[in-house]
């Protein structure tokens, strides 16, 4: 069964600190891995997309890593800001019949950044 597991479930850090979120997956076949940010009451917004041949991708203060051999990914947030408070969702992509991407979503890590 295709699964995406994230840890920790929730995390509280002080503003300005760094943090790393983890993702393990068992999705097959694998096309790419994505990290999304979801603010409370909003839809998910893409942060990074990586294929199996890429092992790191950055988007500003967000850096994602991927180890396709161990089926693990991480999202590192540098110099956290209050606006980083959100749910971060790991998503693994396969292919839908007829086209499009079949996305398997993790349950997310709820991050809270405090003063």
Partner 1 sequence: NAGVTQTPKFRVLKTGQSMTLLCAQDMNHEYMYWYRQDPGMGLRLIHYSVGEGTTAKGEVPDGYNVSRLKKQNFLLGLESAAPSQTSVYFCASSYVTGTQFNEQFFGPGTRLTVL
Distance in angstroms (rounded) separating the CA atoms of residues 45 and 36? 5
- Asked if residues 11 and 112 have their Cβ atoms less than 8 Å apart, the reply is yes
Longest dimension (CA), the chain: 48
Judged by CB under 8 A, the residue of 48, 65, 93, 109 near partner 1 is: 93
Q: Name the region of 71 (left: φ>0; alpha: ψ -120 to 50; beta: rest).
A: left
Nearer to partner 1, 16 or 29 (CB): 29
Size of interface with partner 1, in residues (CB under 8 A): 27
Nearer to partner 1, 20 or 51 (CB): 51
Task: List the beta bridge partners of residue 75.
Answer: 21, 64
Least separation in angstroms between CB 65 and partner 1: 18
> By CB under 8 A, is residue 68 in contact with partner 1?
no
> By CB under 8 A, is residue 96 in contact with partner 1?
yes
Can you give the binding site for partner 1, defined by CB under 8 A?
4, 31-32, 41-46, 49, 51, 89, 93, 95-108
């Amino acid at each position: 069964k295709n699964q995406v597991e994230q840890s920790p479930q929730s995390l509280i850090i002080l503003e300005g600190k760094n943090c790393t979120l983890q993702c393990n997956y068992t999705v097959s076949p694998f096309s790419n891995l994505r990290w999304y940010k979801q603010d409370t009451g909003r839809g998910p917004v893409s942060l990074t997309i990586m294929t199996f041949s890429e092992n790191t991708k950055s988007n500003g203060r967000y850096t994602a890593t991927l180890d396709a051999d161990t089926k693990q990914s991480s999202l590192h947030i540098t110099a956290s800001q209050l606006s980083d408070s959100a749910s971060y969702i790991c998503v693994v992509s396969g292919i839908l019949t007829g086209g499009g991407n079949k996305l398997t979503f993790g349950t997310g890590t709820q991050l809270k950044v405090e003063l």
